[in-house]
Amino acid sequence: MKTEDRKAAVAAYKLRKAVPGIYVVACATTGQQWAGSAPDLGTIWNRLSFTLRQGANTHRSLQSAWRDHGAESFSFEVVERVDLETLPYVLDRFLRDRLAHWCKTLQVEPI
């Protein structure tokens, strides 16, 4: 990668906006699902799958299912995106409330 290309990529990364929201991780083999909230949906799957591959995820049932069925059995889906401009000062509370709503609606375990 050329220096100019690298600088452009770094600048573009710094300018991107984080999109908070709610996501669902599902195991196709067992049908189990887990829901979570994230301040940046664009990076959460990378972080979550890394901890699962390392065996370091703190959610025991998710880690156990990952170990038993492998990465190919799992899918990641965004179920709700939140407009950050309207809620910057109450984002944590709002995400917590929306996560509770989706866990109840989909009858899934929270992460």
Q: Please write the tens of the pLDDT for every residue from 45-95.
A: 999 999 999 999 999 999 999 999 999 999 999 999 988 776 777 888 999
Domain with 73 in it: what CATH number? 3.40.1440.10
> Which range is most confident: 1-10, 21-30, 86-95?
21-30
Domain of residue 52, residue span:
18-110
CA distances from 20 to 6, 38, 50, 64, 100 (A): 27, 6, 20, 27, 15
Is 6 inside a domain boundary?
no
Q: H/E element holding 35?
A: strand 33-38
pTM for the model: 0.85
Is 54 inside a domain boundary?
yes
* pLDDT computed for residue 83 by the predictor: 82
Beta-strand pair 74-81/21-27: antiparallel
Is 22 inside a domain boundary?
yes
How many C-beta atoms surround the C-beta of residue 21 within 10 A?
23
**Tally of domains within the chain:** 1
* pLDDT computed for residue 18 by the predictor: 83
* pLDDT computed for residue 16 by the predictor: 79
